[in-house]
């Protein structure tokens, strides 16, 4: 069996949830969209059931998968519905839709709810991606409040730059949000992971934790308060010693500077490892740090073996405990979110302790 394995430490997920909830205060949604950032949404939801105050997903398909697996916690649809007919499913499965534009608001008002619905009303406080403009927000809120089928409205907004605490934009977005809805009453939700960790002013009734739940700091680097949930590992399945001046891999882009022991490992860009990770990107072999050399291929890549490495059969960590995923992301010019979401073809092994 190909040895590429994503070890998913569900006890780390629970630890991170508890840490983030304590930081934020109030209630905290665990964001499980995109298959729980590549970790497996159902398994993550099951691990957090009874602990998490609720879950958030991008779209109704993701919510229905959780309901089909028996998950009964509140589930927020972060993008709302994509067509009006989805409100009937949201009703049947007790989902909480975000309303972020006029047609979603009107369709929600036209639908005859069988049971009271909780709505999350989204404001565009400056990110300019989705949500009602501040000057239209109170009217949208009023329309919902006049609807007897609407049980509760949670005010929400999303930050553009919460992971860059040196910028003013988050403070400006908070001020815009408070000015537009501070007088309306009701619960509020502002903070994603970065805001939970770096912007105390953004901590309100509900937080929404995604990336940090999986143990990656949204600010880059490592954060000792968080435990990495995924550990992606594989094995060396071939080795050779090359003399100085020999090329390695596609494009012959890497030339050995001296005699080099090269290990071939089972992981490539078809598994979600970033093709743009250059020679020098970190890996850990038998627990000690080494580097990638040569280009990442579809199914394989090559690593530098030191004398103390076993070689054939050595375990290689792509990211996890010794190599932080943010290091790989930085080397490849991307973010941990993208790396995690892209993992595929690996064997997923779920661990609980
Ligand atoms: C509306 C909303 N809230 C919360 C999150 C979670 O963000 P993060 O993973 O940065 O914690 C996202 C992610 O994109 C989002 O779109």
Whether 167 sits among the annotated catalytic residues: the reply is no
pLDDT in tens, 296-308: 999 999 999 999 9
Question: Quick one: which atom of ligand 1 is closest to the CA of 192?
Answer: 11
pLDDT in tens, 84-96: 999 999 999 999 9
Asked if residue 273 belongs to a domain, the reply is yes
pLDDT for 85: 97
Same domain, 89 and 185: yes
Whether 250 sits among the annotated catalytic residues: the reply is yes
Q: What is the pTM of this model?
A: 0.97
Catalytic residue (choose from 37, 87, 137, 250): 250
Candidate of 210, 212, 215, 338 to mutate for ligand 1, largest count of ligand atoms within 8 Å of Cβ:
210
Report which protein residue has its CA nearest ligand 1's atom 13.
Answer: 210
Bridge partners of 290, per DSSP, are: 283
The DSSP code for 190 is: -
Candidate of 158, 189, 195, 211 to mutate for ligand 1, largest count of ligand atoms within 8 Å of Cβ:
158
Calculate the alpha carbon distances from 107 to 11, 77, 257, 292, 336 in Å: 41, 15, 65, 52, 36
Same domain, 252 and 195: no
Q: Which residues line ligand 1 (CB under 6 A)?
A: 31, 78, 158, 192-194, 208-212, 218
Catalytic residue (choose from 33, 122, 137, 273): 33
Same domain, 255 and 342: yes
Percentage of residues in the chain with pLDDT exceeding 90? 100
Q: What is the mean pLDDT of residues 231-248?
A: 98
Q: How far is it, in rounded angstroms, from Cα 245 to Cα 256?
A: 5
pLDDT for 337: 98
Calculate the alpha carbon distances from 236 to 57, 231, 233, 283, 302 in Å: 37, 17, 10, 12, 9
Same domain, 73 and 208: yes
pLDDT for 190: 98
Same domain, 234 and 148: no
Same domain, 127 and 38: yes
Domain containing residue 107: 10-214
Asked if residue 173 belongs to a domain, the reply is yes
């Amino acid at each position: 069996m190909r040895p590429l394995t994503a070890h998913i430490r569900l006890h780390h997920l629970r630890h991170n949830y508890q840490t983030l909830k304590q930081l934020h205060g109030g209630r905290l949604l665990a964001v499980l969209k995109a298959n729980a950032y590549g970790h497996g949404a159902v398994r993550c939801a099951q691990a957090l059931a009874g602990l998490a105050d609720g879950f958030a997903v991008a779209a109704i398909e993701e919510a229905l998968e959780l309901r089909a697996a028996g998950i009964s916690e509140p589930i927020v649809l972060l993008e709302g519905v994509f067509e009006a007919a989805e409100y009937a499913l949201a009703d049947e499965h007790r989902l909480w839709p975000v309303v972020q534009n006029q047609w979603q608001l009107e369709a929600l008002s036209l639908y005859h709810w069988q049971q009271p619905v909780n709505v999350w009303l989204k404001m565009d406080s400056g990110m300019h991606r989705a949500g009602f403009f501040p000057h239209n927000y109170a009217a949208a809120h009023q329309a919902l409040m006049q609807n007897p089928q609407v049980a509760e409205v949670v005010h929400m907004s999303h930050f553009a730059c919460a992971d860059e605490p040196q910028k003013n934009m988050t403070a400006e977005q908070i001020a815009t949000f408070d000015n537009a809805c501070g007088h309306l009453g009701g619960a509020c939700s502002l903070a994603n992971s970065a805001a939970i960790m770096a912007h105390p002013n953004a901590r309100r009734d509900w937080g929404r934790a995604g990336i940090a739940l999986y143990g990656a700091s949204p600010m880059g680097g490592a954060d000792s308060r968080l435990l990495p949930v995924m550990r992606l590992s594989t094995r060396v399945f071939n080795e050779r010693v090359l003399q100085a001046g020999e090329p390695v891999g596609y494009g012959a882009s890497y030339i050995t500077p001296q005699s080099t022991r090269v290990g071939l490992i089972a992981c490539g860009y078809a598994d979600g490892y970033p093709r743009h990770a250059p020679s020098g990107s970190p890996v850990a072999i038998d627990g000690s740090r080494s580097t990638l050399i040569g280009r990442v291929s579809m199914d394989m890549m090559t690593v530098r073996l030191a004398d103390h490495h076993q070689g054939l059969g050595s375990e290689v960590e792509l990211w996890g405990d010794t190599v932080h995923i943010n290091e790989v992301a930085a080397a490849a010019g991307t973010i941990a979110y993208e790396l995690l979401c892209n993992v595929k073809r690996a064997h997923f092994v779920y661990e609980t302790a």
